Amino acid sequence: MDFVSIMKFRQWIIGLCLLCLCSSVTFAQTVEPSDTQEQPPAPVYNYKEFFTVDEDNLESATTAGPEYGHVMAFSPMFSADQFVQAVKVLVVNLLRWTLHNELVQEPPERYMRKLHFGRWINDPSDDTCMNTRARVLVRDNLGDLTFRNGKQCIVDTGLWNDPYAGKQVTTSKEIQIDHMVPLKNAYMSGAWQWDYKTRCLYANYTGFKDHLISSDAHENMSKGDKAPDKYIPPNLAYRCTYLRNWLAVKLIWGLNMTPSEVQAIHQTVVNYNCNPKDFRFTKKQLEDQRNNINDNLEFCMQNR
């Protein structure tokens, strides 16, 4: 089943958890375990309260995005009503959340980066020896770029704006590539249910620019695997954007949020007067992202 199909059936699968639990209990009562065969640990289920971004109740909004540039000027071909209608699109409101209180299975394994998400991947199809980290450094560089050992594989120096601390960094040794939603947070928020190739793609995903961030190493270590209830960037000018991008990643990948996480997001949006219009994600953007994920599910498998 591809990623798009997984997202469509996600809620249906969760709804079956209770039935599965009951069935497993019945089975355990009627079948004697073998003395010679080691039995796998029984799945652990708990009722949990969590939130997801509500992608089902779409809103209508007017946009001036570049994809609608061909209708962004009045002409004899368009009446005023036609013009307004032409730029109206369906959007997901990232600040509208759905509360769930359901029986869910706990991750059967504790989080381990290399086991569950793999490593930075070197994609040979781009005709370079750069891995994902190097490609992001090149993408975000604003100055003259240099490489180590005379080979264009490992980035050495350049100029990067760290949005978290709001400062500039000139050496790659002081840069870490941060996952906007950290790998452990993603794992605990639902990624543990994915197969390895989907998790590895998540770890190396460059299809959404704000999925991977070139950040100051010290600041990224301060963030760690924390959600917004435990960490908010010290750069005040970036806080609203940070929350918008956090929610966008959670939406794209269908990840859960804890009650304290959404409470912290709500409070920060209110405290810093974040513009609600900035917290919109068009239906087309969401479809494009999920199609891109689905099209690249074999990325890690092809480049091991």
| Residue at 185: amino acid letter | N
Structural domain count, the chain: 1
User: Residue 73 is part of which domain span?
Assistant: 3-32+41-302
Q: What is the pLDDT along the chain (304 residues), one digit of tens a residue?
A: 676 666 665 655 555 544 444 444 333 333 344 555 566 678 888 889 999 999 999 999 875 544 444 333 444 555 555 555 556 899 999 999 999 999 888 999 999 999 999 999 998 777 889 999 999 999 999 999 999 988 889 999 999 999 999 999 999 999 999 999 999 999 999 999 999 999 999 999 999 999 999 999 999 999 999 999 999 999 999 999 999 999 999 999 999 999 999 999 999 999 999 999 999 999 999 999 999 999 999 999 887 6
270-276: long-range contacts (C-beta < 8 A, 24 or more apart)?
272/236, 272/239, 272/240, 274/239, 274/240, 274/243, 274/244, 275/240, 276/93, 276/95
